[in-house]
A and B are shown apart, each in its own frame.
Chain A
Amino acid sequence: MKLTVWTYEGPPHVGAMRVATGMKGLHYVLHAPQGDTYADLLFTMIERRDHRPPVTYTTFQARDLGSDTAHLFKDACQQAYDRFKPEAIIVGASCTAELIQDDPGGLAETLGLPIPVIPLELPSYQRKENFGADETFFQIVRHLARPMEKTAQVSCNIIGPTALGFRHRDDIQELTALLFDMGVQVNVVAPMGASPSDIARMGQAHFNVLLYPETAEAAARWMERELGQPFTKTVPIGVGATRDFLAEVAAITSLSPQVDDSRLRLPWWSSSVDSTYLTGKRVFIFGDATHVKASARIARDEMGFEVAGIGCYNREFARDIRALGKELGVDSLISDDYLEVERVIEELQPEMILGTQMERHIGKRLGIPCAVISAPVHVQDFPARYSPQVGFEGANVIFDTWIHPLVMGLEEHLLHMFRDDFEFHDEAGPSHHGGHMPKDIAAAADPQKTVLLEDGNVIWLDAAERELKKIPFFVRGKAKRNTEKFASEKGVNQISVETLYEAKAHYAR
């Protein structure tokens, strides 16, 4: 038993739903109690889907447990076929149904449906959502895909994108264009957008692009073995990774890796002097392993950050992340315990977090800016605009996304000069964000505050007061307070222009 407050991954049957909902012409009959239908809203609300997920739940209740839940399952399965006429059905159990051991696969088989019925065994008490997606996709491919004659032109399948994925929609588009530039046709994208009949013709492709190992590695390995399709190992997120990916595809296909990269802006944006302030920023990176690996490389090699720590919540990839941590010379945190992640961040005190929506919350609590790089997803992770992570446009998007939460160059200098300001401090957030909430400026100008200093009357001389007003309003309060603090520490009770600049020199770093 393990106490959990927030979870990074849902149960494995939600992974199966992500596959089913991404696909077309497939139906999922899920043996599950009433209430498990909550999962529909993940898709209809977070992803704003305008169709119900293709899932029929048996929604058994206590009164059914005494009688015949197996019959309930068979009825639900038959009715789902009659109503939706899918090309194939996947059947399985959620955590509670797993306990009552009705064997959905065996029950569905007895119905003799004229379509493929694919049973899923997803151990709910051991595994999680990503495993569920990976295993489901693997079973679908294993049941439906067969060796075939390859297409005349060089082609590939893009595998891994699912419903509720982090930017999967746009990654598919960007990657398809990138491959097209190289002269590679996309045969099938799966699971997202594929029907069972599309899965059946996946064998025509020359190779597979494994876009998200979390959800398609088992299928990639099976297809390599059974369909003779090699698969790419680099996920093209970031400039370097995209170039490595192109080289990998070139090695498989003998095509040229040279493609038009005139849209790529990250390298110049990162090199321009405006980005100097990014130098050596200490970042902590946490998320699913694929996005963490890609982000670590971008952070270090393409943004000039210092990686202060990394981690992932999906234990399946612990070895990869530990190896990467070793290479970076930092500790690796493999945990799905939100509180543990928070503790590590508190210890490391990074200047920025690249994480999930959970780390965004942690960052808010600790006053550390955070950019989101990975699932679990939130409605904000489904922007209306085109916003891929892969390829050249993905690199541009990542640059913008990552610098947005940061305090910009000049503002940062001012913060360093005048620390502990009541208006501009870590918790107030960058001033270009709507959430920036300085306290009432009138309070800063309150003469009473001046008198309240330990030594009693600290008086601003006229010239000093005029000088103070020349300081930009957004740091004036801090300058005033720091100067007063400095004056009182020095036993000065009249503040002159000189005192003001001595104070500035004192607090400047």
Chain B
Amino acid sequence: MNDQAPITGCADTPVLKERGQREVFCGLTGIIWLHRKMQDAFFLVVGSRTCAHLLQSAAGVMIFAEPRFGTAILEEKDLAGLVDANDELDREVARLLARRPDIKQLFLVGSCPSEVIKLDLARAAERLSEIHAPDVRVINFSGSGIETTFTQGEDACLAALVPQLPATDARELLLVGALPDVVEDQAMQLLSDMRLNNIRVLPAGRVTDETAVGPNTVFALTQPFLGDTHAALIRRGARHIAAPFPFGEEGTTAWLRAIADEFDVDQDTFDRVTAAPRARARKAIQAQAAVLNGKSIFFFPDSQLEIPLARFLTRECGMQALEVGAPYIHRDLVGHDLDLLPAGPVISEGQDVDMQLDRCRAAHPDLTVCGLGLANPLEGEGLSTKWAIELVFTPVHFYEQAGDLAGLFARPLRRKSLLTGFHPNMQAAE
């Protein structure tokens, strides 16, 4: 919408830091999409009935096929020390792998109870790796709520993979973040059209497709929540190509531009490759922006996508951000997006949900982005909401999805205008 950068961004905006009740998922939730992305992996949560129940509930509808995840539920006898939890784990893993010979990598996923009782899953993973080598690789990460918030589960998983990657001195580009296949293919196509070769992805679809990493690796993040993975890759000598995240036409172009610059792609080639999809993206966004233009938006913290998305919605769709809440703000990662986000909104980190609800009600935004636990209650109060979880379950990156991304936010507003006066709480979002 507006191509000029605003005079001031949000880089210097003081951050409202909150510590109170957090209405967020824990990192185990990431398993829901990771297990589909990594087709030879099984995610075994070592936890409680609550963990199993969360996975089942967060999946929304159960997946018909036997999923490639499960929970080893700790029982009273595991806690009371009547049995050795490690023996129990070995037995369950052996049984599982016998039943699923297609599994090539097994993730032992730590949970709140396993962390609190200090069950050493890292050591268990080493032991089990030895037992089941070379057929199966066993890796540990934590998706516990005491350590991870929602998308941080993916971060923890990918960060755990990094030390396992073989070393290389090749100059390679690594794209980091679990993307839907269609989106990943589009990104690869754009980059290869710029004559970039040697592009690898993390996570790979299969362990056999896995990449190597080394001092000549440069990497670009496709998701803003990969702070630990970022650090782990840097420890392996790789270098980060910092850029705004590839949401919307502007974000995608800036993200590609940063990579193109790294690989000395000339301007003509860059323009030739991006001109048509840029135009398509602008056109697609414009169709949705008619609904979004001038509307205000309030983000509850959820996936850490909030700052890049606020940047997209304000700059390309004409929305006005009132509050942008994120569970954590990694300036190394979202700094470029913060710079571009026009000053004005409250930038908050962490949560005290009742206080934030008070602020939201007072601000009375046209659209509120929040978790599933808050959406219907806020709709019940007359606010329009967008479920945040859909943003990590839908292809939203890069040019061809830019219109869809805007559409996710426009749909609740369009719906409200269609149903005006139908339900007492449904008032036009004017």
Contacts and interface: CB of A to CB of B under 8 A. Distances in A.
Nearest to B83: A1
- The residue among B20, B52, B92, B146 with the most chain A CB atoms within 10 A of its own CB is B146
Contacts of A34: 22, 24, 26, 145-146, 149
A52 interface: yes
B374 A52 contact: yes
A35 B64 contact: no
A83 B357 CA distance: 12
Contact of B50 (A60, A94, A357): A94
B58 interface: yes
Nearest to B87: A1
Contacts of B112: 33, 35, 95-96
A3 B89 CA distance: 9
Contact of A7 (B52, B95, B354, B371): B52
A297 to B, nearest CB: 29
B67 interface: yes
B92 A99 contact: no
A13 B53 CA distance: 12
B377 A52 contact: yes
B54 interface: yes
Contact of B73 (A1, A39, A358): A1
B79 A99 contact: yes
Given A1-B73, A35-B112, A125-B74, A42 B26 contact: no
A207 to B, nearest CB: 35
Given A44-B373, A59-B21, A95 B49 contact: yes
Nearest to A99: B116
Given A2-B73, A11-B48, A44-B374, A37 B24 contact: yes
A59 B145 CA distance: 8
A126 interface: yes
Given A44-B374, A50-B380, A33 B71 contact: no
B416 to A, nearest CB: 15
Nearest to B96: A3
Contacts of A364: 64
A212 B299 CA distance: 41
B376 A59 contact: no
Contact of B48 (A52, A96, A365, A378): A96
Nearest to B78: A1
B113 A99 contact: yes
Contact of B380 (A13, A41, A51, A79): A51
A44 B375 contact: yes
Contacts of B76: 123, 125-126
Interface string A356-385: 011001001100000000000010000000
Nearest to B145: A35
Chain A to chain B: the 9 pairs with minimum beta-carbon distance, closest first: A35-B26, A35-B145, A50-B380, A40-B373, A1-B88, A96-B112, A41-B372, A95-B48, A10-B53
Given A3-B71, A41-B58, A50-B380, 17 more contacts: A34-B24, A34-B145, A34-B149, A35-B112, A35-B144, A36-B54, A38-B26, A38-B29, A50-B376, A57-B21, A95-B112, A96-B116, A124-B48, A125-B74, A125-B79, A126-B76, A128-B49
29 contacts: A1-B75, A2-B75, A4-B70, A5-B67, A33-B146, A34-B22, A34-B146, A35-B28, A36-B54, A36-B145, A37-B21, A37-B373, A38-B29, A40-B374, A41-B371, A44-B373, A49-B376, A59-B145, A61-B145, A61-B147, A62-B146, A79-B354, A95-B49, A96-B145, A99-B116, A125-B48, A357-B62, A361-B62, A378-B61
